[in-house]
Structure 1
Amino acid sequence: MKDKKSAKLNLQHKQHQNGHLSPSTFAKLLDLEASWDKDQLGDVLHWIRQIVALICGLLWGAVPLVGGIWLVAFLLISSGIVYGYYAIILKVDEEEFGGHGSLLQEGLFASVTLFLLAWTLVYSLAHF
C-alpha cells in the first residue's frame, strides 16, 4: 500500500513538472558547474526558443518587416542563441545529448509557429 502511494506521488510530481521548468532548473540556468539531464536541457532550450520567437515576432510585426528573409533571420538568431547557450555558456558535451542536431531541434517547430503567429497578428493589427 505504501509503495502504491509513493509511486502515485512520484507520478503526480512528474506530471506537475511535465512541460514546466522546476525551480531547481531555474537555479541551474547560469550555473556553469551544474549537471544536466537530457530532459532538463531540452526543456530549457525549448523555452529559450519560445521566448526568442515571441520577442522576434512582436518586433518584426511592429516594425513592420515583410518577406521570407526575416523568417530566415529569425531561424538564424534563434539557433545562434540556443547554440551559444549550450555550447559556449554551459559547455555541455553535445554528444551526450544526441549531438548538435538534436539540441538545435529542441522547440524549433513550436517556435516557428509562435513566431509566425505573433508576427502576423501584430503586423495585421498595427498596420491595417
Structure 2
Amino acid sequence: MAIRPSVRWRVRVDEEAAEISAGRRSPRDAFLAELFPEALLVATDEALRVFEAGVETLRGQEDAKVFEAIRRVVLVLNEINEDHDGAAYETEEREELCLYIDQTLTEHGVDVPALAARRGISRTEITDDWRDW
C-alpha cells in the first residue's frame, strides 16, 4: 500500500526532533519542523485520505471519473499550498505527491499508463492540468 507522503514527512520531523532532544543535532541545523509545519501535515494527510476513500470506487469506471478524482485532490493540494504562501510543496514533495496519486490509483485497479495514453499524455502528466504546486 502506498504510504502517504505526509506520513513520511511527519516521521522525518519526529526523527529530527528526537536527534535534537538527544543532543545529536544542533537546533541551529534543524529545519524540518519549519519545512513541514503541523498544519501542512494535517491538511495534506486529510486531502490524501479523502482521495484514497474516493479511489476505492473507481475500478472499472470511465476515464472522466478517474480524472475527476485526480482533479479534486490536486485542487485541494493547490489550496493547501496557497495557505502556506505557495511554498508548501517543493520539488521533492511534488514528486512524492504525484507518485502517491499514481500508486494509489494503480493499487485500486486503475491502469494509469493506459488512462494517460487515452488522453495523449504520459503517466507523469496526469495531474498537470490542475496542478499549481
* TM-score (ref. length: structure 2): 0.43
TM-score by length of 1: 0.45
Please tell me whether Structure 1 or Structure 2 has the larger radius of gyration of its CA atoms: 1
Larger RCO: 1 or 2 (CA < 8 Å, sep 6+) = 1
| More helix, by proportion | 1
